Structure 1
Amino acid sequence: MKDGILFAVILAYSCICSAEDSCSVGRLEKIKCSVSESAAALFGLGKTRTVTRGAKPEIVVKGTQIFVNNRAIAIGQSLEKWAKLLPGTPICSTELLRQSCVWDKLGVDILAEDSLVISVTVFFNIEPWGPFATELPDGTPIAPLVDARPKHAFPGYFELDGYGIDPQTEFWEIRARINPRRNLHCDIGGNCGSTAILLTSGVKIYLDLYRTTSPRGKLATVVIGR
């Protein structure tokens, strides 16, 4: 509850920032965006971190576009085109209509229907697997569920609206630094565990937190898809 109150106060005092951290308040021209940072520091959340660019691969979301290693790509394009932009060989399922391809070392899972990509999942912190029930109430055994997720978290550079995100980035930092027009927010009860913002018509960016609903939570995954 405390985190939710602090986050609400920070949102109330946030200024409108661009990717370069400048903002416009009334008639003032391009001053450094410090309101969100100051409010965060005042209430014990500190300043937003800066993630240094350079790690590979790069996935950058800018406006309505997605870039992988500086090449523009989009949801709805072919799985083959996406695969050519990512290093390494994925492990792909054998389903004909819906296919999943996992890059174990990159922490990336791409889902396609009829060979066209419908979602891309980037794993920043991988949730523990299980435990799951092993039998039904009547004693009938249940086949063990297979963990088809990547074995490793994303090692590269991920950027949203000019703000670099890594496994240590917290939700409130993303909210403070990305384009405010995306209207990233928690639900009315202060639950930030699963949120979504619009990328383009029919495509959203889903942010799921790692084992928490607090604005201080770190990301489990970012999913870009329909």
Structure 2
Amino acid sequence: MNIGDRIPEVLGIDQDGREIKASDYRGRKLVIYSYPKANTSGCTAEACSLQAHKEELAAAGYEIIGVSKDKQALQKKFADAHGLQFPLIADTETTLLQELGCWGEKVTCGRKTIGILRTTYLVDENGIIEKIFTPKEIKTKIHAEQILNAIKDKSQNDNSQHNIQSHRWNTPCGRTAVQRIWRGVCHYRTLHKERESETPRYPHRRPDGNLHARICRPCACHGCGETEGHRG
């Protein structure tokens, strides 16, 4: 999956046997991270980093969900051993991993293998992916700090864009650009009506000497006996 894609509705079964769905988190943001193997050094460091900063992530509006190919029993043992207080999905069939795009070819100890690519997805309140941490970007021991820094940067960028837009749409005299544009439109309409009212309107005669039935503006040639829009 790429930035802008919507995550699947059914995410899988966690360590406690609960079915986890995207709709369960409607209105909340998510950190969904995939890890190769429970209870290994790198995956333990990553999980502990996230658990240690769980409250900070929650304050920023984010819930955590982990996913690996491990069986439910191993996920349960992993969570209990390290006090992990968030769902760990046992995706033994790699359904979610493949849908997310974090199952594929990788190099392990100099050998090409097929397996889980350590990846993290930041998902907004509507289930849309807004940022992806690739395997080369993730530092397991400080991964939570990486996520928090990304969230902070995004917030600052959003505020900066808002301030730029506010400055752009407000003039020094306090009138917004939209108001100025509308004022110009109204002025143009008024001026156009005034010019129309000043245009002389009088009857013209046909070549046979009869007056037109309708009163029209004179044509550009003036006095040719025709009227604009009523020739012949």
**TM-score scaled by structure 1?**
0.23
Compare CA radii of gyration and give the structure with the larger one.
2
More strand per residue: 1 or 2?
A: 1
More helix per residue: 1 or 2?
A: 2
**TM-score scaled by structure 2?**
0.23
